[in-house]
Amino acid sequence: MSVEQSSVFQIRNAKFNEGKSFNLNPNLVKGRDLQNIRSCDQVLFQSKNFVALPTLGAIVEGWILIVPKKHQLCMGALNKELFSELDMFRKKVYDVLSACYGPIVIFEHGPSNPEQQVGCGVDYAHLHMLPFKYNLIRKHDEIFSNYFKWNPINGMKDTSKFYKKGLPYLYVEQPLGNAFITTHPNIPSQLFRRVVASSIGHPERYDWKTYPEDKNIESTISTLKAWESRNDSFKM
């Protein structure tokens, strides 16, 4: 199965290796020729084991995904070493996005098994980072009637406790370092996308499959390239 068949990532010529990993096309490596690469395929930042990409369905400019280079079902499935790297990488990306856009929220829909609704149709770990001026959890509670009990945790590494117990989860970090998690057997698909879309007055635009939001993707790339031209290169 090619990653192209998963419309979330649309990474050109990236292929799963027996369903467990994908290899990025060398042209996607930062600094290479991107002339023939579509906007949503571009690697904005990367570390040894993770990439940051603009997301299809970017309801707001500045919305990106952090994705492991090798297949994981959710971030809770990472090992200790990868959690450490992810922690450093997302902090660096967070700082860049904050400098460009202001307040940032981080969230994940974490499936514990394949083909769960919470996975939003994509059984491949992806962490959302986007500009959002509202408190995401409070905004959810204002808009939707379903109630979740949120528990404070010590960051992303604690998602592993839920994954190991077979519990699907929602993870929110806002601001950086202020993390919460909840679990429920029937977490709806694209729940936080619905919250964001409703918060900006366009509830119908929550679905990335229907609204790819190409203009916001292009603007995100332009803004981050402009930031990079004014600052030292992003290094890990």
CATH number at residue 71: 3.30.428.10
Asked, for residue 235, whether it belongs to a domain, the answer is: no
What is the Cα 235 distance to its own chain's centre? Answer: 20
For residue 210, what are the domain limits? 3-230
Asked, for residue 183, whether it belongs to a domain, the answer is: yes
- The span from the CA of 219 to the CA of 191, in Å, is 24
Asked, for residue 224, whether it belongs to a domain, the answer is: yes
Query: Would you state the pLDDT for residue 75?
Result: 96
pLDDT tens digits, one per residue of 129-150: 999 999 999 999 998 876 789 9
Residues 6+ apart with CB under 8 A from 82: 49, 68
Q: How far is the CA of 79 from the CAs of 27, 148, 161, in angstroms?
A: 28, 27, 12
* Cα three-residue angle 197-96-106, rounded to 5 degrees: 40
Q: Name the domain count of the chain.
A: 1
CB 127 within 8 A of CB 49: no
pLDDT tens digits, one per residue of 167-183: 999 999 999 999 999 99
Low-confidence ranges of the chain (pLDDT < 70): 1-40, 115-121, 146, 233, 236
Asked, for residue 126, whether it belongs to a domain, the answer is: yes
Q: How far is the CA of 84 from the CAs of 3, 145, 185, in angstroms?
A: 26, 36, 28
Average pLDDT, the chain: 82
- The span from the CA of 133 to the CA of 124, in Å, is 27
pTM of the model: 0.83
Asked, for residue 132, whether it belongs to a domain, the answer is: yes
Asked, for residue 42, whether it belongs to a domain, the answer is: yes
Asked, for residue 236, whether it belongs to a domain, the answer is: no
Query: Would you state the pLDDT for residue 117?
Result: 62
CB 73 within 8 A of CB 164: no
- The span from the CA of 26 to the CA of 48, in Å, is 14
Asked, for residue 38, whether it belongs to a domain, the answer is: yes
